[in-house]
């Protein structure tokens, strides 16, 4: 390592730090002053090096790196933190800052079990974009990605087998039979996703707690250890517990509690993670300038940025 290594490495290091935002957009560290400070220090080193080397090519490379750094600082400090948009199936979430609306599909029990639901993004100024499980999409200076969360499609029936309406008075979708477990509850030291619903025809309120395989293994629930399941606790309409009306059900199993036949189908439903990323045109222009300068420098016909 010679005494020029650090100045020479500053520009590619800065570019790499910025590109890392595209690779790991959800990392909260990009939105801290420390990250901006590192980029600022690297920018100063790049400027100093450009002044020392002089020449058009060095200036070109430095300008390119600085443009990339500006885009990185912009998305890091000014861009919003990663936000998770969770909506019930069948609803629409307006995303004015992305210039789009996210359509969350109406999911039947089979779609919840398969975990294959895709979110469709409709934009005023462009074609619709479908974002499926594992997909990443870039829209202007945001990266959109699906995050799968546990979900349960619940059917409730009376003793005669009649299907009963499920309501969720405390949730955004009043008439949804899909539980998204958006709350957290600690039971016996275990932090569990929780949700609740009502069956007005039977005058029942039900609390539901999601147990992953690990959680049920730790809880050592009878017959459910190591099995993904949901714990139902049935209350009357005044919220008073009904004796004995608490029990686990695995996916596809019907359990009778408080006179209700509850049948959950467990699986997952997507949320939309929205992360700020560096403004793509800035990355493109800055990166192009830097790599053109680097190429010219390596050819050796110009005052360069690598020596």
Which residues of this protein are in contact with another protein, per CB under 8 A?
Answer: 56, 59-60, 63, 66-67, 70-71, 74-75, 77-80, 83, 85-98, 106, 108, 140-142, 161-166, 172-177, 200-201, 274, 276, 278-279, 281-282, 285-286, 289
Q: In what order do the strands lie in the sheet with 126-131?
A: 92-95, 100-103, 119-123, 126-131
Residue whose token pair is 């990166």: 287
Of the two residues 127 and 161, which places its CB atom closer to another protein in the complex? Answer: 161
Q: Give least dist CB 5 to another protein, A.
A: 25
SS3 166: coil
Of the two residues 194 and 199, which places its CB atom closer to another protein in the complex? Answer: 199
Q: Please, what is the Cα angle at 133 between 208 and 105, to 5 degrees?
A: 65
Of the two residues 16 and 78, which places its CB atom closer to another protein in the complex? Answer: 78
34 burial class (0-12, 13-18, 19+ CB within 10 angstroms)?
exposed
Picking from 273, 86, 307, 61, the residue whose alpha carbon sits closest to that of residue 178 is 86
- φ and ψ at residue 305, rounded to 5 degrees: -105, 5
Q: What is the C-alpha separation between 212 and 181, in angstroms, rounded?
A: 12
Of the two residues 13 and 101, which places its CB atom closer to another protein in the complex? Answer: 101
Which tokens is 97 given? 């800052």
Which tokens is 248 given? 């686990």
Q: Give least dist CB 269 to another protein, A.
A: 12
Q: What is the C-alpha separation between 44 and 55, in angstroms, rounded?
A: 18
Of the two residues 48 and 56, which places its CB atom closer to another protein in the complex? Answer: 56
Of the two residues 224 and 296, which places its CB atom closer to another protein in the complex? Answer: 296
Sign of the CA dihedral running 79, 20, 18, 285: negative
- φ and ψ at residue 55, rounded to 5 degrees: 100, 155
Of the two residues 165 and 241, which places its CB atom closer to another protein in the complex? Answer: 165
Q: Give least dist CB 215 to another protein, A.
A: 26
Of the two residues 205 and 216, which places its CB atom closer to another protein in the complex? Answer: 205
Q: Give least dist CB 306 to another protein, A.
A: 19
Measured CA distances, 9 to 14, 61, 160 (Å): 9, 12, 75
């Amino acid at each position: 390592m010679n005494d020029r290594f650090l100045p020479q490495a500053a520009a590619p290091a800065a570019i790499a730090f910025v590109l890392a935002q595209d690779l790991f957009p959800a990392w909260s560290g990009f939105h801290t002053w420390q990250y901006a400070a590192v980029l600022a220090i690297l920018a100063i080193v790049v400027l100093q090096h450009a002044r020392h080397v002089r020449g058009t090519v060095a200036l070109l490379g430095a300008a390119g790196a600085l443009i990339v750094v500006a885009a990185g600082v912009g998305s890091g400090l000014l861009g919003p933190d990663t936000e998770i948009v969770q909506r019930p199936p069948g609803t629409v979430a307006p995303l004015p800052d992305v210039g789009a609306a996210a359509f969350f599909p109406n999911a039947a029990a089979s779609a919840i079990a398969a975990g294959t639901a895709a979110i469709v993004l409709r934009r005023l100024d462009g074609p619709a974009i479908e974002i499926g499980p594992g997909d990443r999409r870039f829209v202007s200076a945001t990266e959109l990605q699906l995050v799968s969360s546990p979900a349960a499609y619940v059917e409730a029936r009376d003793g005669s087998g009649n299907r009963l309406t499920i309501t969720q008075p405390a949730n955004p979708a009043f008439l949804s039979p899909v539980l998204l477990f958006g709350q957290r509850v600690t039971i016996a030291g275990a932090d569990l996703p929780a949700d609740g619903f009502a069956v007005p025809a039977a005058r029942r309120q039900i609390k539901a707690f999601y147990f992953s395989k690990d959680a049920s293994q730790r809880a050592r629930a009878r017959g459910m250890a190591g099995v993904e399941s949901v714990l139902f606790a049935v209350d009357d309409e005044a919220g008073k517990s009904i004796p004995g009306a608490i029990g686990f059900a695995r996916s596809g199993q019907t359990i009778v509690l408080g006179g209700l036949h509850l049948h959950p189908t467990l699986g997952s439903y997507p949320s939309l993670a929205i992360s700020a990323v560096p403004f793509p045109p800035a990355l493109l222009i800055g990166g192009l300038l830097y790599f053109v300068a680097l190429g010219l420098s390596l050819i050796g016909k110009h005052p360069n940025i690598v020596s």
